[in-house]
Amino acid sequence: MNGSAALVEGVTEEAATAPIGLSARFSRAEFAELRRRTVFECGKWDPQYEDECVLADFALTLEPTTWRELALLAEQLARETLAAERELLARPELHPRLGLPRAIRRCLGAHEARGAACGAARVMRFDFHWTRAGWQVSEVNSDVPGGFIEASGFSALAARMLGLQLAGDPTEALVEAVVRAVGEDGRVALVHATAYTDDRQVMLHLARALEVRGLATGLLDPTQVLWRDGQAGAATSWFDGPIDLLLRFFPAEWLPNTRAQGDWRAFFVGSRTPISNPGAALLVQSKRFPLVWAELCTELPTWRALLPETRSPRDADWRGDDGWILKPALGRVGEDIGLRGVVGTREWQGIARAARWWPAHWVAQRRFEAVALEHEGEALYPCLGVYVIDGRAAGIYGRVARRPLIDSRARDVPVLVLT
């Protein structure tokens, strides 16, 4: 549910040597079948954004060596991220610098008394871009990464049509991680914002995959989870009794909004029921995570090598230097990313005003020079979101955009490995 950005100056010679290839476009009949099967077999109910289909009619391709390189980098990033999260959980004096809501900071500050929330089947997604300097990462989606339908279902259908291989199947990998945690007879609650169609479809997709393995599933909102001494249960007409694992797709910063109806704090501290992912994931989800690196004992060599320079808006000349972009600390789906010259003038002015007024909730980040791919005369800006589940790379959620901003207008694209 996050966005990323990059700067290019048209399609360049570097595109010819980029480690990302492109397939030919599907025929009209092939793409109609692919789209229909993605909707009805994979459960992607919303294949449109405004008047445009969000499914690409071609695939991105990688050599096996490129996929192995990305997998290795993502796994290194995941190890560093989890180590930093553990340290940050014990360093509440750093939490105000991360732009977290006050209620969440107070809750996390109580982790020593109540105990850290139990975690299992940990999921992250790292967004990679090919640039003139090689691979760079724009962010980690460590809280509630999505894209499972597209990376598993849509991409698997495209792979069969093209005779290529999936980089990995994150849905299958997540199901295996859940089974390792609770067994094949476990009861799993899939906690999400039930009013949002795009969230509901992801949870139904995962629920069906879990049910194939024999697990009992219940789709709940956070207020329908009942806590007693750190153990989760439910008492709804469709899912009643103890819960063995909570699979959360409800953004952590939204949880305090449910305080009048349930104990949201157990998602952060004190839970004895395993959670994928615990609310403390927000500590490294924040775009302001790099601002505390100098204070940490955890070494972050891969992060330092791949993430563009990141500063507080107070410490960067983003007003006079177009080499900086602005990002909200807890932004998602590419919302409110400020790229002067890419977003509209009015939108940029609103973002700049917010960063001036509330700099503690924003970051300034260097714009990297991504290599645009040319596809039948069209410049495309790809983003490869590499999943890591329980420490192992598990697949790729691909997106492409016609402008150097990966947001809700970007198209979902299969990322396949050449055989």
**Distances in whole angstroms, Cα of residue 116 to Cα of each of 31, 107, 228, 303:** 47, 11, 16, 25
**The two three-digit tokens of residue 2, written as one number:** 């996050």
**The two three-digit tokens of residue 151, written as one number:** 């990376």
Residue 10: CB atoms within 10 A of its CB come to: 8
**The two three-digit tokens of residue 14, written as one number:** 């570097």
User: What's the pLDDT at 15?
Assistant: 57
Q: Is 354 helix (H, G, I), strand (E, B) or coil?
A: helix
Nearest-CA neighbor of 105 among 264, 280, 290? 280
Between CA 216 and CA 184 the distance in angstroms is 9
E strand or H helix that includes residue 155: helix 155-162
The CA angle 178-184-185, to the nearest 5 degrees, is: 115
E strand or H helix that includes residue 110: none
**Per-residue pLDDT for the chain (419 aa), expressed as one digit of tens each?**
444 444 333 445 555 578 999 999 999 999 999 999 999 999 998 887 877 889 999 999 999 999 999 999 999 999 999 999 999 999 999 999 999 999 999 999 988 878 889 999 999 999 999 998 899 999 999 999 999 999 999 999 999 999 999 999 999 999 999 999 999 999 999 999 998 888 999 999 999 999 999 999 999 999 999 999 999 999 999 999 999 999 999 999 999 998 756 689 999 999 999 999 999 999 999 999 999 999 999 999 999 999 999 999 999 999 989 899 999 999 887 788 888 888 888 998 999 999 999 999 999 999 988 888 988 888 899 999 999 999 999 999 999 998 888 888 899 999 999 98
Q: CA 338: distance to chain centroid?
A: 19
**Phi then psi for 298, rounded to 5 degrees?**
-60, 130
User: What's the pLDDT at 373?
Assistant: 92
User: What's the pLDDT at 4?
Assistant: 46
E strand or H helix that includes residue 189: strand 187-192
E strand or H helix that includes residue 303: helix 301-306
Nearest-CA neighbor of 412 among 164, 158, 206? 158
Peptide bond into 141 cis (omega under 30): no
The DSSP-derived string for 327-367 is: EETT--TTTT-B-BTTB-HHHHHHHHHHHHH-GGGEEEEEP
User: What's the pLDDT at 140?
Assistant: 95
Between CA 210 and CA 147 the distance in angstroms is 17
Between CA 138 and CA 98 the distance in angstroms is 17
Pairing of strands 216-220, 187-192: parallel
Contacts of residue 408, defined as CB under 8 A and 6 or more positions apart, other chains included, come to: 49, 333, 334, 335
Reported in sequence order, the residue ranges of 271-346 that DSSP labels E, i.e. its strands, are 275-276, 310-311, 324-328
**The two three-digit tokens of residue 50, written as one number:** 């405004």
Largest CA distance in the chain: 61
User: What's the pLDDT at 1?
Assistant: 41
User: What's the pLDDT at 369?
Assistant: 86
User: What's the pLDDT at 9?
Assistant: 39
**Phi then psi for 226, rounded to 5 degrees?**
-105, 130
**Phi then psi for 265, rounded to 5 degrees?**
-65, -25
Residue 228, beta-bridge partner list: 231
Overall pTM surpassing 0.85 (yes/no) = yes
Residue 181, beta-bridge partner list: none
**Distances in whole angstroms, Cα of residue 203 to Cα of each of 193, 197, 209:** 10, 10, 10
Q: Is 232 helix (H, G, I), strand (E, B) or coil?
A: strand
